């Protein structure tokens, strides 16, 4: 498939790609890749864009994260096209995948960025983006973070508490600057997602409650070095329905009207990120449907609209490649011990996330192949929670290369060095080209900054 033919967005009419048997779950690799624009099988071999997975595994080793440049750009473009009728800014949420190559590709396409730390802002600047197109979210911004962001000319602080508002004013005064701010409003809307990634409920640590927002805006208006520019919310991640977004927007619209009555005019509304993706059989609303549901209400407001999508832009642009090191069938369970582990990809362990594991080379007869068994795909880390997938029907041999799909978001960025394991390499593919975008860490580098105790 040529890159220009890659389809965009997620499908709504979801045909299941799985078969659940008593032994385990079979994910049909070919059917799955039909929904993943970056991936396809050609002559039984798996490709990302026009590069075979085998080529990448051979050249860069495993574990290795691989991203399709075109798949990232296509989703970004789907957002931009869907909101083209409005003044808008798509601020890619850096936390999903912060590799400089990914950031620079998006910056060149015109994206803004959503960041949550000084480190993320430094990355964005290093990737060549303008700080003025960056919004700074996060509940614990420090004096140093604010100072750095103001010096760089940050686009907007998404303020999450009165304490933060006061601190921003103080830093801005010291620097003799005016700080652009939005309040992150917590609309108390149930995002209907995993509790760890739900952020818009009053039990969550995020934002300023809807009830308090007007009073805090009035406080902000009275501060000497604060420039109120917008309103913001982010209710959670991996949302598959549009209703919670609409409910949050309604709450924000209510506030915008009462702010106007009190003489506070805003320039933008930021609806955060959170649109979900199809990992296996999920059926998230498409970007186009998401836009269709929000556009009428947004157009009526006459404000610039910001979004902060992370996962939906990069998740399905990426795979994690891993090699089967040891097969350990037992009477009770079969374990395939692979060279990636929870330190490389923590989503299954942390959120019970179900991600697809597909072979580099298709077996001849799919589910009926001789030798298909239910395998737990596990890492070599000393934790029972170290699994990447459980009870998956696969036909495996030692040395096989597997691809874990949907790994472009919250994969590498959440990886660690647990068990003194160097972090994986990262590669970007564009058409028939492939390029290393992060070297595999060396083991020596893991303890290079440590200092022996001196008696």
For ligand LLP, give the closer residue by CB, 275 or 336: 275
Q: Is 273 in the site for ligand LLP (CB under 6 A)?
A: yes
- Whole-angstrom distance, CA of residue 55 vs CA of residue 163: 53
Q: Which is nearer to ligand LLP, 109 or 361 (CB)?
A: 109
Q: Which helix (H) or strand (E) is 29 found in, with range? A: helix 29-33
Q: Using CB under 6 A as the criterion, what x/- string covers residues 297-326 for binding ligand LLP?
A: -----------xxxxx--------------
Which two tokens mark 33? 């890749």
Q: Is 274 a binder of ligand LLP (CB under 6 A)? A: yes
Q: Which is nearer to ligand LLP, 137 or 161 (CB)?
A: 137
**Using rule CB under 6 A, residue 186 touches ligand LLP:** no
CB of 275 to ligand LLP, least distance (A): 6
Site string for ligand LLP, 132-151 (x = CB under 6 A): -----x--------------
Q: Tell me which residue of 366, 409, 410, 372 sits closest to 394, measured CA to CA.
A: 372
Coil vs helix vs strand at 126: helix
CA 441 to chain CA mean position, Å = 22
Rounded to a whole number of angstroms, the minimum distance from the CB of residue 191 to ligand LLP is 10
- Which one of 10-18, 270-278, 434-442, 446-454 is the stretch in contact with ligand LLP (CB under 6 A)? 270-278
Contact 45, 52 (CB under 8 A): yes
Q: Is 382 part of the annotated catalytic residue set? A: yes
Residues numbered 384 to 403 that lie near ligand LLP (CB under 6 A) are: none
Asked if residue 96 binds ligand LLP (CB under 6 A), the reply is yes
Q: Convert residues 5-44 into a mask of x (bound to ligand LLP by CB under 6 A) and - (unbound).
A: ----------------------------------------
Distinct helix (H) and strand (E) counts, the chain: 13, 23
Q: How far is the CB of 199 from ligand LLP (least distance, A)?
A: 6
Residues 195-214 close enough to bind ligand LLP by CB under 6 A: 197, 199
Structure-token match 């789907």, residue found? 78
Closest CA to 302 of 56, 86, 43, 11: 86
Which ranges in 139-209 belong to alpha helices (H)?
Answer: 143-152, 162-175
- Which residues are CB-contacts of 134 (< 8 A; sequence separation ≥ 6)? 91, 112, 113, 114, 115, 121, 124, 154, 155, 156
Number of residues that bind ligand LLP (CB under 6 A): 22
| 93 sits near ligand LLP (criterion: CB under 6 A) | yes
Closest CA to 437 of 91, 12, 98: 98
114 binding ligand LLP? (CB under 6 A): yes
102 binds ligand LLP (CB under 6 A): no
Task: Write down the least CB distance from residue 82 to ligand LLP, Å.
Answer: 15
Closest separation in Å from C-beta 301 to ligand LLP: 20
Q: Cβ(186)–Cβ(232) under 8 Å?
A: no
Inter-axis angle of helices 100-109 and 118-126, nearest 10:
60
Of 170, 171, 155, residue with least CA distance to 114: 155
Closer CB to ligand LLP, 310 or 379, in the complex? 310
From the list 142-150, 268-276, 419-427, 437-445, the region that binds ligand LLP by CB under 6 A is: 268-276
Burial level of 293, CB count in 10 A (0-12/13-18/19+)?
middle
The piece of 61-69, 221-229, 266-274, 355-363 that touches ligand LLP (CB under 6 A) is 266-274
Distance in angstroms (rounded) separating the CA atoms of residues 306 and 137: 13
Which residue numbers are catalytic?
Answer: 382
Q: What is the contact surface with ligand LLP in residues (CB under 6 A)?
A: 93, 96, 114, 137, 197, 199, 234, 237-238, 272-275, 308-312, 347, 351, 410, 414
């Amino acid at each position: 498939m040529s890159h220009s033919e890659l389809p965009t967005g997620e499908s709504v009419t979801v045909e299941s790609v799985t078969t659940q048997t008593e032994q385990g779950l079979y994910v049909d690799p070919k059917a799955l890749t039909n929904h993943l624009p970056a991936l396809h099988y050609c002559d039984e071999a798996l490709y990302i864009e026009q590069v075979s997975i085998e080529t990448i595994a051979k050249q860069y080793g495993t574990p290795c994260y691989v991203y399709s440049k075109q798949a990232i750009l296509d989703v970004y473009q789907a957002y931009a096209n869907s909101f083209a009728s409005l003044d808008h800014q798509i601020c890619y949420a850096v936390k999903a995948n912060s590799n400089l190559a990914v950031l620079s590709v998006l910056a060149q396409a015109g994206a803004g960025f959503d960041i949550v730390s000084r480190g993320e802002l430094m990355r964005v600047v290093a990737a060549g983006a303008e700080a003025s197109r960056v919004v700074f979210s996060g509940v614990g911004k420090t004096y140093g973070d604010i100072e750095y962001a103001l010096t760089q000319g940050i686009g907007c602080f998404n303020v999450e508490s009165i304490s933060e508002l006061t601190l921003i004013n103080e830093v801005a005064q010291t620097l003799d600057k005016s700080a652009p701010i939005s309040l992150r409003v917590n609309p108390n809307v149930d995002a209907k997602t995993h509790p760890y990634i739900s952020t818009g409920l009053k039990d969550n640590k995020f934002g300023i409650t809807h009830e308090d927002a007007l009073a805090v805006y009035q406080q902000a208006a009275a501060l000497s070095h604060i420039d109120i520019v917008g309103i913001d919310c982010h209710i959670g991640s991996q949302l598959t329905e549009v209703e919670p977004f609409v409910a949050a927007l309604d709450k924000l619209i209510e506030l915008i009207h009462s702010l106007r009555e009190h003489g506070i005019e805003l320039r933008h509304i930021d609806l955060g990120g959170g649109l979900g993706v199809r990992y296996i059989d999920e059926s998230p609303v498409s970007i186009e449907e998401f836009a269709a549901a929000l556009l009428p209400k947004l157009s009526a407001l006459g404000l610039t609209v910001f979004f902060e999508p992370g996962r939906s832009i990069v998740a399905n642009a990426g795979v994690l490649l891993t090699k089967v090191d040891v097969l350990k069938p037992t009477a009770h369970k079969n374990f395939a011990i692979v060279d990636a582990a929870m330190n490389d990809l923590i989503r299954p362990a942390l959120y019970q996330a179900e991600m697809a594991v597909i072979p580099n080379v298709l077996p001849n007869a799919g589910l009926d192949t001789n030798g298909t068994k239910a395998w737990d795909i596990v890492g070599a880390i000393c934790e029972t929670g170290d699994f990447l997938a459980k009870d998956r029907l696969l036909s495996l041999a030692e040395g096989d290369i597997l691809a874990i799909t949907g790994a472009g978001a919250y994969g590498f960025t959440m990886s660690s060095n647990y068990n003194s394991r160097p972090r994986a390499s990262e590669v970007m593919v564009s058409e028939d080209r492939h390029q290393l975008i992060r070297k595999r860490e060396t083991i020596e580098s893991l303890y290079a900054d440590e200092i022996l105790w001196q008696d």
